[in-house]
Each structure stands twice: as structure tokens, then as C-alpha cells.
Amino acid sequence: MEIELKLSLAPEDAPRLRAHPLLAQSAPGPLVLQMHDIYVDTPDLQLCRHQAGLRVRQVDGRWVQTLKAGGTVSGGLHSRHEWEGEVPGPQPDLAALDSAIGRKQPIRTLLRQDAIRDALRPVFTTRIERTVWQLRTPQGDEIECVLDQGVIESGVDGADGANGVDGEGYSVAVSEIELELKQGQAASLFDVALALLQEVPLQLGHMSKAERGYRLVAQQPLRAVKAQPLALDGAMSVEQAFLAIAGNCLEQVSGNQDGVAAGADVESVHQMRVGLRRLRSALGMFKSLLVLPDALKSELDWLGGALGEARDWDVLAGNTLAQLDGEAQADAAALAQAAHAQARLKHVEAAQAVTSARCTACMLGLQRWLQARAWRDSCSARQVRRLDAHVSPFAHATVRKDQRRLMKRGKRLLHASPQQRHQVRIAAKKTRYATEFFASLFATRTVQPYVGRLSALQDELGWLNDVQVADRLLLQLPDVQADQADQFAQDGLRLHAAFIRGYLAARAQAQGKDGRMHKAWRRFKAARLPA
């Protein structure tokens, strides 16, 4: 099982990396290799569909085949099963792979199917110059640092023209670092990455070259990544459950980073922000046992704020104003155009934030804190015992506590102020996150109705919160558009905004009286607590 951390850098920053003291002082000096990889799959990409990659690599006159399959990506670390061996030429040797793969590995069964074996062909290639440094940390950990620069191509000739890749030609540049743990603690990978970041602008890498190659072949657009179901085991300790929950949240955050960096995808911004909010909620759930350092908390708040501004303008332009009709439609349409323009500006700022060295340092620091379990340094003996205890009692106690808080805040929901309704909404969201985190420890028949009623309550409270946000943004809109519009247009926006603010306030007041929110609240109160 290989464990590695991927980082990307601009090609023009490669000389700065090579000159970094950490690498310049490594002994022996760097090894430079010229590599040509041929990735093999069926025409319908069956290996890729089964989360596997098979390649044959030519390096220094030798051919080596490598199969990678299964494994996980957690906390920025890529862990995969790997089988490797020399072959005579550019074609894979499936018999040798069959002997090497463990009997219980699903990929072995797949590769034994005649239909799969007969259909294998080259699907894309890479041509890479690889520079390798062998590093040893002061603690004795051994890490291989690799700089890869080159290109991934589909629809071009394979090795020596003998393995043509069908289809139209596409290519994408490669400029990335891989830090692979050879011996020692995984936390040391983040120490090295943070040291490199001090001299070289870096970003966390979220896709392997194989994943990028497959995306190139299929011409797949970036898609927003939602939170994946989380499977906890009752035999887990509280600490193990926290690490699984935090890793699940970070997968959602990192899975949407490329979409946010592209600068225009509304759903990627939304899902990355949701991932951060889930993470902050998880940190709050476990705060009696472990506390995130203030510096990291501040950086998470900064990143959440950058995404939040873009999301608020997206909701105003694409949801709140877009849903208005009748007498408000013309005014809403005039405002929506200006709101969309502001949303585009905020998307640019969000893209700058997630591609910044500051964001990289935040994510690396957070993941290092998780890998090293740094909270144990300040834990009392009682806290350590609670961290090591089974998670099920903690899960039940947490959901009960969150429900009590929600019930207390919701007592006066009928006559609540907007600020009080907001507090109820936050409590409902935290209760839902906690229930979803621990759902696998509860009976499905009790979890699903409970979460369903929580969601219905959140929807009602969420629209009222959107109205409050809209009121704030509509007040700002004429002024933020001042540099892009003449005085007449600005005055027009101000009039449209004043009308829509009043219109939305009236609709919110009517919704507060029509019983939908209170019906949702009564249904939730009657829901059975998950058990």
C-alpha cells in the first residue's frame, strides 16, 4: 500500500522548487528519469469504472507494468493497492499480474474475464520528466519527493507507433509533486509539504495522472461533489470516528476545489462551503475532547467567508429573485442581472482564495493536525479515556443533546424574531449533520424519518433566512455596482431594490402566518429520536 501526498505547481516555479534548501541538501543528489507511460483499458473503460488503473511504463530502456486499485483518499493522502513488475515490452502481462494479486482482491476477478482481457487497449499516454529526491526528516522518516513535468495525451500514437490510441487528440500539461512515505509517520509528509510551501507556491493535488487521463479521454467536465455516505462501526473509538468524520468532510471540500478554481461553477462553491460547514460542525461536536488550534480555526473561517460571499450572491440572483413573478417580476429581472454580475466577481475572488498559498497552508496544517492527532498533547487522562471509548454511547448522547438544544430554541418559533429564527435554523442544521454523521450507528427506520422532518424544517427556515440575506445584499447592490453603471442606472437599481425588499418582507411575513413553518416544526417535534 503506497501512501502519498500530491501537490501541483506552475511550471515556471519548478526552478524555485529545485533550489529549495530541503531538496538542495538531499544526499544523494536528484535522479532524473525520462518516462513514457501507456495506460490500458477497455473501450468502455471498465478498469476505470472499477477504480483501477493499469499502465506499462518505459524508463531507461526497461518496461514495467503497474496496476493500482482500491484504496482511499483521506485527509489529502492517497492510499492505494499497487502491484508492479517488469515486462518484456509495451503490452501488459496479465498472467504475471494474476499471480501477484491477492485472491480476495475484486480486480483479480475482473481481469480474469475473457471479455475484459481481449478488449484491453491503450487509452492514453503520458510523457514525463521525473526528478527524484530521497529525503530523511530529523525524526528519521524517509520520504521520496518526485517532481513530474510533462504531458498527458489521448488520441496519439503509443510506444514506437505500435500502440495507437483511438479517437481525437487531446492533451493536458502535468506539473506536480508527489511526496511518498517510504518509512515513518504519515504526518511527516505534511511537514515536508509545508516546508516546500514557504518558498514555492503550491496547491493540493486532488487527482492522479490516471484520473486526469481518464477525464481527458472521456472529455468529462468538472462536477460538484456532494457529501458521501459515512459508514462508522460501533467498535470504533470516539477518536477513530472523529477522524473518519473529518476525513469525509475534507473529501467533500477537496473534491470541489478544482470546480471553485475554475471560477464559474455555482454548485461547486455551494458544496465546498457545505463541506467546510460540516467540518466546523464536527469540530464543535467533539470540542469537549479535542480543540482545533486558534490559528487553523481562523483560517477555516477566512476560507468559509470567501466561499460564503459567492454563495450568497448566487442564491440572490439564481434563487430568490428568479422565483419572483407577477408584479415583482420586472423589478426582480432588473436586479438579477446586476446580482449575477456581482456573483461573477465573488466567484473570481473565491477562485483566488482556494488557489492561494494561504489556502494550501490551511489545508496542509489541518491535515497534519489530524494525522498527528496533535490534540493528545494537551488532553487530560479523562479526555484520553473518553477518546478511546467506543463511539456508540457518544453518538447517542450527542444527538440527544443537539435535539434538546433545538427544542429549546424552537419553543417560541411562532413569535420569533429573524435573529431567533436564524438560531433555530443553525441548531437544526447542526442536529442534522450530527445525525447524518452517526447514521450508520442507528436503525435506518428511525434515521430516515427523523432526517426527513429535519430537512423539511430547514427548508422553511432556510427560505426565510434567504430573505434576510437578500435584504442585506439588495441594500448594497446599487453601491457595489457604482463603478459599472451611470448615476441614472444606479438610481434605477435603488428603486427596484427598495420595491423588492418590501415585497420580500411582505412574503416572509405572510409565510410566517400561513402555517407551513409551524406545521414543519410540529412534525419534527413528533419525530422519534434515532436509536
Residue 72: pLDDT band with limits 50, 70, 90: low
Q: Which of 15-29, 162-176, 287-301 has the lowest mean pLDDT?
A: 162-176
* 404 has a pLDDT exceeding 80: yes
Q: What is the DSSP letter of 317?
A: I
Nearest to 178 by CA among 313, 55, 2, 333: 2
Residue 489's pLDDT is 72
* In the block, residue with C-alpha cell 435573529: 419
Q: Average pLDDT, stretch 462-473?
A: 93
Q: Give backbone dihedrals phi and psi of 131, rounded to 5 degrees, phi first.
A: -115, 130
Exposure b/e, 39-56, CB count within 10 A at least 16 = b = bbbbeeebbbebebbbbb
Residue 250's pLDDT is 95
Q: Which of 126-140, 306-320, 499-513, 517-531 has the lowest mean pLDDT?
A: 499-513
Residue 456's pLDDT is 93
- At 151-188, the pLDDT tens digits run 999 975 443 333 444 445 789 999 999 999 999 999 99
Q: Which of 97-106, 171-180, 428-437 has the lowest mean pLDDT?
A: 97-106
Distance CA 80, CA 210 (A): 13
Residue 417's pLDDT is 85
Of residues 102 and 500, more confidently modeled: 500
Q: Where are the alpha helices (DSSP H) in 41-168?
A: 46-49, 94-100, 106-111, 114-119
* 3 has a pLDDT exceeding 90: no
User: Which percentage of the chain shows pLDDT scores above 70?
Assistant: 93
Average pLDDT, the chain: 90
Residue 349: pLDDT band with limits 50, 70, 90: very high
Q: How far is residue 416 from each of residues 175, 410, 424, 512, measured CA to CA in Å?
A: 55, 9, 9, 10
- At 358-379, the pLDDT tens digits run 999 999 999 999 999 999 999 9
Residue 121's pLDDT is 95
* 514 has a pLDDT exceeding 70: no
Q: Average pLDDT, stretch 448-471?
A: 93
Q: Average pLDDT, stretch 503-517?
A: 79
* 268 has a pLDDT exceeding 90: yes
- At 109-140, the pLDDT tens digits run 999 999 999 999 999 999 999 999 999 998 89
Q: Which of 40-49, 166-175, 206-215, 358-367 has the lowest mean pLDDT?
A: 166-175
Residue 24's pLDDT is 87
| Sequence letter at residue 304 | G
Residue 500: helix, strand or coil by DSSP?
Answer: helix
Reduced to 3 DSSP states, what percent helix, strand and coil does the chain have, rounded to the nearest 5? 60, 20, 25
The secondary element (H helix, E strand) that includes residue 253 is helix 238-255
